[in-house]
Amino acid sequence: MSTQDFVLFALRHPVLFVYQVIQWILSKVLSPTPPPRKAHLRRPKIAVIGAGLTGVPAASHCVGHGFDCVILEAGSRKNLGGIWSRVNNTSGLQIHSLMYRFHPSVTWKSGYPNRHQIVSQVEQLWRKYGLEEKTKFNTRVTKVYKDLHGRWILNDPSNGRFDGVIAAIGTCGDPKMPHIPGMEEFKGEICHSSDLDGRQAKGKKVIVIGGGASAVEALEFVASEDAEITNVLARSEKWIIPRNPFIDMLLAMNVFGSETNLSWLPEWMLRRFFYRDLADIAPPPNSKKGIFTETPMVNDEVLDLVRSGKAKWLRGDILGFEPDGVRFNRRAQGVPKGGPGREELIEGDMCIMATGFKRPSLAFLPDEVFQPPYEPPNWYLQVFPPEHMDICADNCTYVNAIGSVGNYHIGIYTRFLLMFLVDPLARPKEKWMKRWIDMTRWIKARSPTGAFDFFTYSELIYWFLFVIAIQPFRWKWAPFVLFGIGGALPLAVVEREDKLRKGNGVVH
Ligand SMILES: Cc1cc2nc3c(=O)[nH]c(=O)nc-3n(C[C@H](O)[C@H](O)[C@H](O)COP(=O)(O)OP(=O)(O)OC[C@H]3O[C@@H](n4cnc5c(N)ncnc54)[C@H](O)[C@@H]3O)c2cc1C
Ligand SMILES: NC(=O)c1ccc[n+]([C@@H]2O[C@H](COP(=O)([O-])OP(=O)(O)OC[C@H]3O[C@@H](n4cnc5c(N)ncnc54)[C@H](OP(=O)(O)O)[C@@H]3O)[C@@H](O)[C@H]2O)c1
């Protein structure tokens, strides 16, 4: 970009310009330096399972701090970027990209990037940190176990032996296509919401089954295609919140990570100022579906489309397909699934199944990590099973949250793992990991959800700060774990401690 173009851009788009400057500074200050090609990286060596936007940044943090790693990815090279490599070209971020900076060197050119921009950022990161040579594609991990020396083996020893494992397999696997009675008789086409590229919706009556974020995206797609009418059939109620980064961040600031005595306030404000005449679509007041119980959908367009008459958002149960549409039991607000309602035929000549994705299985991990009451997501910091602090299941034990999957915590979790591996004194013991889980459950005992089934981003930050502050041997690591800076100093201390331990005959 020439100086003239640069100045013109700053004048025409001042907000975007400031955003770019901030990102540039963050990248310069917080991105670890990529290792030189053929550099000898030290142990601990980490195995990263999955090459999505969790796995690639996690691996880049490992090598950026001088530790060796290998990425094992079930898909092929074209699946680099995980779920984003498999969805529609029209898919994009609903939350603001400010909350989707999955690595400090990510640079967004817009507030709401599309899937191509997201995949290309993952790809750039992958190349920048020399991860091409460290990634094994077409390698599905089916078994993770330890050798006699306590090193992890993934599938078989030919993949190497590792000191730590990062499982980054995500929550969106293959598309979920439930069979609904009568599907075969339906005259129109039926497709999954992740398979919309090239579909024609112009002038059609479209039915969308499901009421989650994919349904919202499908609705936006068919509206842009100028469909005649779209009926979204949702069997349960979910909150929709505005596509405004300040409102979204404000909601994420509830540090308790659950419903509180004040939750009525944001709910009332959303009904009054956002849903307005369409408050009937929102979960009912005084129900168990408070705003801090489930991941909300972030969107502005849905309500506008309903107001314009181009779409209807209907609550009820699918009874079955008929040649001309879907038989539906329409329920009033607050009537539970399967409850009484009014039966009607929703006409359609195209049906989009926005019924979600199958959750990839963590069954390859050792059996002991699934023992109740410490089964996922009830793990230390939600990601470390108490039996094995050297396993970090990042972003894949996630159930519901107000926050983001693709943000700074990916680096923080990776550095927690590195700290645990290199510093025996900072390492958590199984007993204390379990006590922390118990304590969090106790703090959230009044929450309508399980303690780890819902959290907010500020609660996550509180967890991080708490587990560092509670253990004095972790204090020296705080700048490294939280910001990725100053790792050399605590490492030198640990090396001296190691020498002392060896001198005293203490072996870890
Ligand atoms: C259309 C769409 C839009 C979304 N928008 C948002 C959003 O706005 N905000 C948000 O926070 N989240 C959003 N999400 C959720 C999204 O899943 C996450 O943001 C993020 O992409 C997850 O990245 P990941 O790397 O953790 O998982 P994935 O991207 O799912 O990657 C996991 C990888 O692991 C591989 N894998 C799985 N099992 C194995 C195995 N056993 N062995 C080896 N490899 C394995 C998979 O092949 C895959 O490549 C969206 C999801 C979709 C589908
Ligand atoms: N741009 C974005 O922000 C974006 C876009 C797409 C996806 N995502 C993310 O991707 C993940 C998956 O989202 P998703 O919307 O695909 O899936 P989802 O959240 O699991 O929603 C699936 C919807 O389909 C309904 N459903 C499932 N089976 C059904 C059946 N047999 N009959 C009728 N309805 C059925 C579900 O109802 P119940 O709730 O009652 O089960 C739910 O409303 C989420 O984490 C989401 O945030 C984000």
Q: Which atom of ligand 2 is nearest to the CA of 178?
A: 31
Residue 1: is its pLDDT beyond 80?
no
* Cα-to-centroid distance, 445 and ligand 1 (Å): 30
Whether pLDDT at 203 is above 50: yes
Calculate mean pLDDT across residues 88-115.
95
Atom of ligand 1 nearest to the CA of 214: 1
pLDDT recorded at residue 508:
44
- Domain range list for the chain: 10-173+360-503, 183-353
pLDDT recorded at residue 507: 45
Helix or strand or coil: residue 153?
strand
Candidate of 48, 80, 83, 457 to mutate for ligand 1, largest count of ligand atoms within 8 Å of Cβ:
83
Cα 224 to ligand 2 centroid, rounded to whole Å: 21
Q: What value does the mean pLDDT take over residues 166-178?
A: 97
Q: How far is the CA of 88 from the centre of ligand 2 (A)?
A: 15
Q: pLDDT tens, 383-398? A: 999 999 999 999 999 9
Query: Which ligand approaches the C-alpha of residue 135 most closely?
Result: 1
- Quote the CA–CA distance of 477 and 418 in Å, as a whole number: 10
Residue written as token pair 């929709």 = 240
Which pLDDT does position 505 carry in this prediction? 55
What integer best gives the mean pLDDT of the chain? 94
Instruction: Using pLDDT thresholds of 50, 70 and 90, give the confidence band for residue 199.
Output: very high
- Write the class of the CATH domain 183-353: alpha beta
Strands annotated E in 323-472: 325-330, 342-347, 350-353, 391-393, 400-402, 454-456
AA identity, residue 404: S
- 276: CB partners within 8 A, 6+ apart: none
Q: Which ligand does the CA of 211 lie closest to?
A: 2
The pLDDT score that the predictor gives to residue 14 is 85
Range name among 148-157, 266-275, 342-351, 493-502 with the lowest pLDDT average: 493-502
- Ligand minimally distant from the alpha carbon of residue 337: 2
Per-residue pLDDT for 2 more than 80? no
Would you say residue 111 has pLDDT above 80?
yes
The amino acid sitting at 81 is G
CATH architecture of 10-173+360-503: 3-Layer(bba) Sandwich (3.50)
The model's confidence at residue 3, banded by pLDDT at 50, 70 and 90, is: confident
Q: How far is the CA of 180 from the centre of ligand 2 (A)?
A: 16
Could you please report the per-residue DSSP string of 231-266? EEEESS---EE-S-HHHHHHHTT-TT-S--TTTHHH
Distances (CA, A) of 172 to 82, 217, 418: 9, 15, 27
- Is residue 506 pLDDT above 70, yes or no? no
Q: Per residue in 288-326, is it b (16+ CB within 10 Å) or e — as a string?
A: ebbbbbbbbbbbeebbebbeeebbebbbbbbbebbeebb
CA of 53 to the centre of ligand 1 (A): 7
Domains 10-173+360-503 and 183-353 are alike in CATH topology: yes
Residue with tokens 């059996």: 367
Above 50 in pLDDT, residue 89?
yes
The pLDDT value recorded for residue 504 is: 63
What's the pTM? Answer: 0.95
DSSP character string of 471-504: -HHHHTTHHHHHHS---HHHHHHHHHHHHHHHHT
Segments in 352-447 forming alpha helices (H): 409-422, 430-443
CA Rg value for the chain: 24
User: How much is the pLDDT for 497?
Assistant: 82
Ligand 2 neighbours (beta carbon < 6 A): 93-94, 172, 178, 209-215, 217, 234-236, 295, 318, 354-357
| 220 sits in which H/E element | helix 213-224
State mean pLDDT over 464-469: 98
Which of the four pLDDT bands, split at 50, 70 and 90, describes residue 340?
Answer: very high
> How far is 389 from 279, CA to CA, in rounded Å?
46
**Closest ligand 1 atom to the C-alpha of 405?**
11
Q: What is the pLDDT of residue 38?
A: 81
The answer for residues whose C-beta is within 8 angstroms of residue 49's C-beta and 6 or more apart is 55, 71, 72, 73, 141, 154, 165, 166, 167, 168, 169, 364
Ligand 1 atom nearest 395 alpha carbon: 26
List the one residue out of 365, 363, 372, 362 whose CA is nearest residue 434. Answer: 372
Looking at residues 476-487, what average pLDDT do you find?
94
Q: How far is the CA of 443 from the centre of ligand 2 (A)?
A: 29
pLDDT (0 to 100) of residue 484:
95
Dihedral over Cα of 338, 341, 344, 350: its sign:
negative
How does residue 171 score in pLDDT terms, banded at 50, 70 and 90?
Answer: very high
- What ligand has the least distance to the C-alpha of 298? 2
Contact 99, 251 (CB under 8 A): no
Rounded CA separation 42/154 (Å)? 19
Calpha distance 205→222 (Å, rounded): 10
Show Cβ contacts of residue 505 under 8 Å, excluding neighbours closer than 6 positions: none
Using the atom order of ligand 1, give the atom closest to the CA of residue 83. Answer: 29
Distance CA 67, CA 35 (A): 10
State percent of the chain over pLDDT 90: 89
Q: Which ligand is nearest to the CA of 319?
A: 2
Residues 6 or more apart from 498 whose CB is under 8 A from it? none
Q: What pLDDT is recorded for position 330?
A: 97
